[in-house]
Amino acid sequence: MIKPYITTGIGSLPFHDPEAAAEFVLTHCDIPFWPQLPAISFRELMIPQYSEGFPGIMIDDEKRVIVADPDQSSLNRFYESTSSGEQFPL
């Protein structure tokens, strides 16, 4: 049974050092979590992190934005494979 008032976290921590962030989580939280470290990189923010590999978009680290990919070939491949049943066969 889970005790009441146990601690965990979701998302970002203000650390620059991944080892220090992991140590903080393991020391201060009852249930460990995967910390994101946006102080290190734009890709550590939640949306860029989970957008990687998403068809039809590009992550621009320099400008710190996520934009539609002008080369729609990845999106076309995704639609072709899903409509043919290759992606999610039953």
pTM of structure: 0.67
pLDDT confidence band for 87 (50 / 70 / 90) = low
d(CA 61, CA 57): 13
DSSP code string of 38-72? TTT-GGGSHHHHHHTT-TTEEEETTTTEEEE-SST
pLDDT digits (tens, 9 = 90+) for 11-21: 899 999 999 99
CA–CA distance, 63 with 75 (Å, rounded to integer): 22
Which residues, at least 6 apart from 83, have a Cβ–Cβ distance to it below 8 Å?
none
